[in-house]
Amino acid sequence: MPNSGSPATSAPRSDDARTRRGARIAVACFVTSGFAGLVYEVCWIRMASLVFGSTTIALSTVLA
């Protein structure tokens, strides 16, 4: 007697799995890069505030 449920689904193709894995790696690289950029920005702002004082000049220098 045939199964009356939904049609059988095949396993995902290896191309789809590679595409998903590649996309996850790319997203992980973007997230890591963004986090590293924020850490460096905070470090530079703190170092610039030692030279210029805690002013908008220090922030503007780092962001420029």
Residue 53 lies in a domain: yes
Q: Has residue 42 been placed in a domain? A: yes
CA angle at 60 for the pair 52 and 32, rounded to the nearest 5°:
110
Q: Is residue 3 part of a domain?
A: no
Q: What is the pTM of this model?
A: 0.60
Q: What is the pLDDT of residue 31?
A: 98
Please give the Cα distance from 12 to 24 (Å, whole number): 16
**Token digits of residue 32:** 């890591």
Torsion sign over Cα 47, 52, 53, 55: negative
Where in the sequence is the domain holding 45, given as residue range(s)?
37-64
Please indicate, yes or no, if residue 61 is contained in any of the structural domains: yes
Per-residue pLDDT, 11: 56
Q: Is 16 a domain residue?
A: no
- For tokens 């590293």, name the residue: 36
In-domain check, residue 24: no
Return the structure tokens found at 55: 């002013």
pLDDT digits (tens, 9 = 90+) for 5-52: 566 665 556 778 888 899 999 999 999 999 999 999 999 988 888 888
**The pLDDT value given to residue 10:** 59
Helix, strand, coil distribution of the chain in percent, nearest 5? 75, 0, 25
